Chain A
């Protein structure tokens, strides 16, 4: 990436306890250091995506929550999602189908510079992941790997202070999966971002190399 790595601080999940209808779903108390990946593992229904939604600011009010989310020591628990600067990636790239590749990236890019400068930033970002000249392409015409890379770029261009990953590699085929894992973790490392990774794939945890939390629970959700 062309933009300089930003000084980011830790993402802290401080004494977080999430429960539903009086039953405790999960309880986490953990600080993710800059550049570190915390992997939360567990089968579906264990509440791992719930934790991610809480950190991102999307948790449904039917859940009862204790605890706080701190970013660089700042309490962001009550902040709306758009003011948290948490980059989000799902298992689907979810590129906006009505925008071009450049349109998707410009949508993510923070405002501030001139139109030309924004276009240049987008082009440079594309070139860096081997997708030069793709600006005008329709997302529907891209391969799965290309879409995944553009989704990552879109998130990074919004200058997040932490990354939240919800099984981001599970829908890619095996060869592509390794490649994307490396790309995502490298880019997060370069930027010194704390990463919260939620997955049920042990290989994701191994590739991430950081601490792992296992959640119990069976799937009746």
Chain B
């Protein structure tokens, strides 16, 4: 307070107004329980068999035998190295490309184009993007056809292992092109909060080049905001299963794939091996994050030295073009991959090295439509239920926060990210073991709740920004007009946020559609979806069927976002401010 007020006496006793209480507290409690319990229970459920306790198989003595078996598993070193490498390489590459692009192109027309591309790119499920990439880069893929017979000289597809390469390069590429839009979106959300524009202008006015201005003045606070999403990328990339099955090495496969194989093995004694693997996966992801932290420390030291040196780094043309080119390549690969899938799904006979099929036919689609009905219904049911449930919970938690005047604490945010920071397979495996012992596996509700663990964080992240941006005075006006807090929620906030709610629902729907592991493990094979079907086709399925199935998978989230964009426009077609997104 200012000088005029400092002469006021300090009151010794204060009567604080009571913070309003609300029975809505059930919502944040439910959210915390639904997010944290499955992860903790799942890790415990893996820990018991990992240390030799598996009463179902008559194993009741604690021992380290499963870990001994894990260390002795053939090729386990390679599997671990592949997982660690995929996690760190994916994150490093995605981070370099996105930060390079934001640094070099922020505030330009190119930037706005990519800003608009981000939603469709994000909505493509990992599996569909991976299939698209596989169909592009395979020895008989579209790229090789474009280069054959001239200049490559191939009349037949070369006998190269491009997809499923033993070093996991194709798998890493498939992960990078999908993590780039995710990280870009997170950066876009954080940029206004770190006052990027004035900082950049200030640094450039001091004579720093565009890229240097960004790296020195915006990146440090921006990075602080991106840390949790980056950790989530590390955890995801080092334990991914669907992309690894489609593009990854097979002899040996990355750790997560091998855990899944052990888990599904008819020889039940491999269950304890899988459990030890799940714990090893958890340790591996934690180790990867620690390595990243060390890298972070190193880069910060170097950065501080550079900043103190006073160099302006004005000649950054090469960096700028490299950043633009890699970003375009990443987006181009996803889009070209989808186009290739579309072409394969309607291709008749298609000989190598022809760039275009000899004939086009709808035969593939006819058979896919005939057989995909069940998995399609399942996917829609699970995604619909989990996304709506997530939106209801998120709205309840936000309304609770608004009514009690509280704010989101960092603790709550970590809880939100917890399911994203722990590798899926590490806790889903144990959770499945628990559910099996309770005979709850394969229940629709169990599958939906397992999906909710992954759907909810995205839904809340997407809803909370528009929720908090809504002018609080609307609610004050409505209250002073004699309306209750409930009426304000139903008649003011809900309709005014209908667009944001529709978008959040669509995002939750898209996340659920793309989930492979929770559907497979918790569903116990009783709830096949388009995603599990598509991934199952990766091992030697018919190309055309695979392409069509992957396209259906890619189309569903797109459909969700399309409906979400249309619904508010239809509901409020006579209200200009609502159509404009107000």
Contacts and interface: CB of A to CB of B under 8 A. Distances in A.
Interface in A161-176: 164
A96 B14 contact: no
Contact of A107 (B405, B485, B491, B575): B491
Nearest to A151: B477
A24 B5 contact: yes
Contacts of B492: 96
A60 interface: yes
A88 B475 CA distance: 11
Contact of B5 (A96, A108, A216): A216
Interface stretch (B15-23, B125-133, B426-434, B524-532): B15-23
Nearest to A158: B481
Interface string A57-97: 11111011110000000000000111111111010101011
B480 A22 contact: no
A66 B479 contact: no
A25 B3 CA distance: 12
B574 interface: yes
A133 interface: no
A92 B473 contact: yes
A211 B397 CA distance: 45
A139 B572 CA distance: 12
Contact of B14 (A64, A84, A216): A64
B476 A61 contact: no
B11 interface: yes
A97 B2 contact: no
Interface in B495-525: 495-496, 498
B290 to A, nearest CB: 39
Given A87-B480, A140-B576, A140-B577, A25 B405 contact: no
Interface string A92-122: 1010111010000001101000000000000
B575 to A, nearest CB: 5
B575 A84 contact: no
B474 A94 contact: yes
A141 B574 CA distance: 10
Given A24-B9, A86-B480, A98 B4 contact: no
B1 A84 contact: no
A180 to B, nearest CB: 17
A181 interface: no
B187 interface: no
Contacts of B77: none
A141 B576 contact: yes
Given A61-B16, A84-B480, A220-B2, A97 B405 contact: no
A80 B22 CA distance: 14
B17 A65 contact: yes
A150 to B, nearest CB: 12
Given A217-B4, A217-B5, A61 B18 contact: yes
A65 B476 CA distance: 20
B582 interface: yes
A191 interface: no
A67 B291 CA distance: 58
Contacts of B405: 60-61
Given A64-B11, A64-B15, A94-B473, A82 B483 contact: yes
Given A61-B19, A96-B496, A17 B574 contact: no
Contacts of B270: none
Nearest to A97: B577
Nearest to B483: A82
A40 to B, nearest CB: 15
Interface in B1-53: 1-5, 8-11, 14-19
> Which of B3, B473, B484 gathers the greatest number of chain A CB atoms within 10 Å?
B473
Contacts of A64: 11, 14-17
B482 A158 contact: yes
Given A98-B572, A217-B5, A90 B10 contact: no
Contact of B481 (A63, A90, A141, A155): A155
B496 to A, nearest CB: 6
B574 A138 contact: yes
B478 interface: yes
B471 interface: yes
A80 B483 CA distance: 10
A143 interface: no
B575 A140 contact: yes
B477 A88 contact: yes
A158 B477 CA distance: 11
Nearest to A86: B480
Given A56-B476, A66-B15, A85-B482, A23 B4 contact: no
Contact of B496 (A59, A97, A155): A97
Interface pairs A-B: 10 shortest CB-CB: A218-B2, A64-B14, A216-B4, A97-B577, A140-B576, A88-B480, A81-B479, A140-B577, A24-B8, A98-B495
22 contacts: A23-B10, A24-B8, A24-B11, A45-B2, A56-B476, A59-B17, A61-B16, A61-B17, A61-B18, A64-B14, A81-B476, A82-B479, A87-B480, A98-B495, A98-B496, A107-B478, A107-B483, A107-B491, A138-B576, A138-B577, A217-B1, A218-B1
Given A82-B479, A155-B480, A160-B480, 5 more contacts: A90-B473, A107-B478, A139-B575, A158-B480, A220-B2
